[in-house]
Amino acid sequence: FQVYIKHYKALFVIIVAIVTYSFIQPDDYDTSPGILKNKRVLITGASQNIGEELATQYAQSGAKIVITARREDKLKEVAAKCRKAGATSVDYIVADMADIEQVKNVVKDAVALLGGLDQLVLNHVTGLNHPGMWNNSQFNLDYAQNSAIVNYVSYIHLSTHAIPHLTESNGNLIVVSSLAGHVPTINTAIYGATKASLNHFYASLRLEMMASERDPYSITICMMGPIETDRSRWSKFPDKVNMKGNPIDDTAAQIIKAGTTRRSYLFIPWWTKYASAVKAIPSQLVDRMFLKIFYNK
């Protein structure tokens, strides 16, 4: 019993700290209308879902956009949509993030098209079919290999090539990650592992910049919880999941705002920051609670 009391005390302290942080963190960047006009933005994974919505909303703000994904036909559709929405300019780059040799050229080609870089939005994920629960199959192993490259290694390459340009523009690096990288969830062992790697790498990179007493660009880590995308389990399996995903248009708007205002973290939906705090308490009781709340187990 005393152990549980200690855990609940720790939970209380963490929640108080998060609530306080939520209210005191300043938006120290201009958010007036037109602030994104002519901003040079590269968005990965932009052929559908969050990436497509991000591109559309940047376009509505008058930004100069380069979008990238594997499927040229989809990129053409999104580019046309962005031009109609009001983008200052729109170009696309066809690239497979599983091929590091292709990845190496994405930022260089985007900078050549844009004339520089103000914001890099890393949003892509592996296109392989989701393996479900880990079952020791060869498909699981192949999925793990591909995910490590697409969901993690390619991010490091892209941001590394972008850093000189973001430093020059005092720009913004926006990493669309996932709460699955912090809170274990069913069917996400590999996906969550790659997101945990992203979260740790970019949080550590930000800390290294602080330690070096330099802040040439900002890093915003977006911790995505349930989002109502076309292929998400929140849409496909409503009988097995106890909640709705966050609307995709609101999700994209929050990501853009968080990156532009140079926030360190963004949690979507808002309540996931508290789920993150609860999971910080090591306990089987918490694991059982999550299974009951999210999966009726």
Give the rounded percent of residues in the chain with a pLDDT score beyond 70. Answer: 76
8 Å CB contact between 42 and 64: no
pLDDT per position as a tens digit, 158-201: 999 999 999 999 999 999 999 888 887 778 889 999 999 999 99
Give the C-alpha distances (Å, rounded to integers) separating 136 from 132, 140, 180, 187, 275: 11, 6, 20, 13, 29
Residue 191 among the catalytic residues: yes
Q: How many CA atoms lie within 13 A of 157 on its CB side?
A: 20
Helix (H, G, I), strand (E, B) or coil at 183: coil
**What is the predicted pLDDT for the residue at 184?**
77
Of the listed ranges 56-70, 144-158, 214-228, 252-266, the least confidently predicted one is 214-228
DSSP per-residue string spanning 98-161:
T-HHHHHHHHHHHHHHHTS-SEEEE-----SPP--S----HHHHHHHHHHIIIIIIHHHHHHHH
- Please say whether the beta carbons of 42 and 162 come within 8 A: yes
Q: Is the pTM for the entire model greater than 0.95?
A: no
Give the domains, in start order, of the chain with CATH numbers. 34-295 (3.40.50.720)
Q: List, for residues 2-19, the tens digit of each pLDDT value.
A: 544 555 555 565 556 555
Question: Average pLDDT of 265-284?
Answer: 73
Catalytic residue chosen out of the listed positions 58, 143, 191, 202: 191
